[in-house]
Structure 1
Amino acid sequence: MASLFNPNPPLVSFSSIRPSSFNPSKVVSNFNQTSIITNNTDVIAYTKLFSSSLSMATGRSSAGVDNTSRKLPVLLFDIMDTLVRDPFYDDVPAFFRMPMEELLELKDPTVWIEFEKGLIDEAELEKRFFKDERPIDFEGLKSCMISGYSFLEGIEELLIALKEENYEMHAFTNYPIWYEMIEEKLKISKYLSWTFCSCKNGKRKPDPEFYLEALRHLKVEPANCIFVDDSLLAERRM
C-alpha cells in the first residue's frame, strides 16, 4: 500500500506493477521499464500473459530452463490491497461504529506505524489506539481483522501460476506482527516467503534503506527485482 518511490530521485529503482486495471496492449518487450496496471477481475485471464511477459523480459522461458539456476526477476509483493483485502477501511470503522473520518480523527496518528515497525507490542497498541486511551475490545478488533482478510479476486490463481513458473517471490510490506494472522488464515507462505516485513527490521517503505536491505539480502541488482503494489502514490493511513 505504501509509496514505492521517493519523490526525489530514488537511491534504488525497482520495476513496478500495479494490480488494478490491466490493459494487455501496454505489455512491451522491455518489461523492466513497463508499469502495468491490472484489474483484479482480469487477473486470471491474463496470468499466462503476465508470466510470459516476465519470461520475455529476462530472455527466459519455462521450457528448457535449468531449474538449478536462479530464475530472475525476483518478485516482491506488497500485501494489503495488493494480494489481500485490507479490512481497515470498511470493517474497522463498522467495528467501532463510527465513520472513517471520525475514526481517523480520534485514533493516535503514530501508534500504528510504531506497531508496524515492531517498536511497540500489542499491549501498547491497545492502550494507545485512541488519542484519549479509551478502553477498546482488542480481541474483538483482532477478530474483525481476521474475518476481513481474504485473497483479492484472482490473486491466488496468479500466485499459483507464478509458483508453477518457478519465480522466487517475497513479501515486501509495511505490516506488523499481525502478518502472522494473515498467514494463519490464508497460508500465503505456500506461494511466497514473508521475508521483508516492517515488524522484522524496523523499516517502512518508502525508506530507501528498506529497499537496499532487500537487495543485499537477495543478492540481486535492482533491475532484477519487480515490485508489485496497488499504488505508487498512496501512503498507508493506518
Structure 2
Amino acid sequence: MASLWNPPVASFSPIRPTLNPSKMASNFNHTLLRRGNDTGIGDGKGVSSSLSMATGWSSDGGDKSTRKLPVLLFDIMGTIVRDPFYEDVPAFFRMPMEELLELKHPTVWLEFEKGLIDEAELEKKFFKDGRAVDFEGLKNCMIRGYSYLEGIEELLNALKEKNYEMHAFTNYPIWYEMIEEKLKISRYLSWTFCSCKNGKRKPDPDFYLEALRHLEVEPASCIFIDDRKKNVEAAKEVGIVGLHFRSADLLLQDLCRLGLDISPDIHRLNSAAST
C-alpha cells in the first residue's frame, strides 16, 4: 500500500529475454484477462492452461523444469497487513489525522521508504518544525498495530500448500523487518521487492519491470495484488495481471476465476475466516 506517510524516481537495467516456452500462450491469455473489470480478469475461460505448471527459469538463472506459474506479487500494507498509520499513529501523537498530515515533513517518509535516509534522520526530520519525537514509542506503536488482515493468512497458506511462488512487492522502509519479526510472513512469501532495498516505489513502472527481470518471467505469468487501484493499473500497463484487493474472500474468488489450483481450499478458508 502506498501509505499516506508519502511518489517515485528510478533507474533500471534492461530486461533479459526470458526463456519461457509458454510465452505465446501466456500473452494470448493475458489479452483475455485484461478484458475484465478492475480486478483484471474476465470470465476465466481459457486461462488456467497458461497459469499452471510450465517450464521456466529461477531468478538465480538455474533451470527449474517444473516451475509453477503464475508467480504472485503481493503488496503488504492494506493487503496482507493492517496499516497502523491510519488509526494508531494519530492516537499516539494525540492529534487528528488532518493535523498530523499538516505537521509531518512532506517527503521524509518517502525518503525513508526508499532507503535514502536512516532512522536517525527520520527521527530528526519527522515533523516540519523539528519538534522532538518519542521514536521508540512510535516504533512500538507500529509493532502493536501490525496484524494479518482477516482471512489473508489462511489464503497465503492455501497458496503455499499448492506450491505457488510468492513475493512481497511493497512500498515500505526497513521497518518491514519489524513486521517480519512479529508476523513471520516469510513462512509464506519472500521479502524480495521492498522499496527500501530496491530504491523504487510503486507505481513507478521501472519497479515492476525490475521485478520481471529479476524473476525472469513474462509479465502475463505474474499476478500482482494491491489494495491501491493506481498500483494495480500500473502493473497492467507493463502487462502484469493486476488484481484489486478488497478482502481475502474476494481475492480467493478472483484467483480461482483465473484458474489457480486452490479451489479445494475454499471451504476451509471460508470456515477459518468466519471463526
Query: What's the TM-score bracket when you normalise by the shorter of the two chains?
Result: 0.7 to 0.9
Cα offset for 1:57? 5.7
Contact 1:31 1:54 (8 Å CA) reproduced: no
Residue in 1 that maps onto 2:48 = 56
Residue in 2 that maps onto 1:18 = none
Provide the secondary structure at the position in 1 that maps to 2:230: coil
Q: Aligned in 2, Cα 1:89/1:60: closer, same or farther, shift over 3 Å?
A: same
Contact 1:169 1:193 (8 Å CA) reproduced: yes
Residue in 2 that maps onto 1:75 = 72
Provide the secondary structure at the position in 2 that maps to 1:56: coil
- Give 1:179-190 correspondences, 5 Å limit: 179-190=176-187
Q: 1:154 aligns with which of 145, 151, 164?
A: 151
Q: 1:210 aligns with which of 207, 211, 217?
A: 207
Cα offset for 1:60? 3.1
Structure 2, unaligned runs of 5 or more: 9-14, 16-31, 54-63, 232-275
Identical aligned pairs, as a percentage?
A: 76
Cα offset for 1:217? 0.2
Amino acid paired to 1:2:
A
Q: 1:165 aligns with which of 162, 165, 172?
A: 162
Contact 1:86 1:148 (8 Å CA) reproduced: yes
Contact 2:171 2:194 (8 Å CA) reproduced: yes
- Give 1:137-148 correspondences, 5 Å limit: 137-148=134-145
Q: Aligned in 2, Cα 1:126/1:139: closer, same or farther, shift over 3 Å?
A: same
In 2, the alpha carbon distance for the partners of 1:159 and 1:36 equals 22
Residue in 2 that maps onto 1:201 = 198
- Give 1:1-238 correspondences, 5 Å limit: 1-2=1-2, 30-31=32-33, 34-35=36-37, 56=48, 58=50, 60=52, 69-233=66-230
Cα offset for 1:96? 0.1
Q: Describe the superposition over 1:85-117 as per-residue Cα deviations: whole angstroms up to 9, x where unpaired.
A: 000000000000000000000000100000000
Cα offset for 1:140? 0.2
Contact 2:75 2:225 (8 Å CA) reproduced: yes
Cα offset for 1:56? 2.2
Q: Select the structure with the greater relative contact order (CA < 8 A; seq sep ≥ 6).
A: 1
Q: Aligned in 2, Cα 1:182/1:55: closer, same or farther, shift over 3 Å?
A: farther
Q: Aligned in 2, Cα 1:181/1:57: closer, same or farther, shift over 3 Å?
A: farther
In 2, the alpha carbon distance for the partners of 1:32 and 1:190 equals 31
Provide the secondary structure at the position in 2 that maps to 1:75: strand
In 2, the alpha carbon distance for the partners of 1:172 and 1:59 equals 20
Please, what TM-score do these two structures have when normalized by structure 2? 0.65
Q: Describe the superposition over 1:157-207 as per-residue Cα deviations: whole angstroms up to 9, x where unpaired.
A: 000000011110000000000000000000000000000000001111111
4+ residue stretches of structure 1 with deviation over 2 A?
30-37, 52-61
Residue in 1 that maps onto 2:246 = none
Please, what TM-score do these two structures have when normalized by structure 1? 0.74
In 2, the alpha carbon distance for the partners of 1:54 and 1:82 equals 28
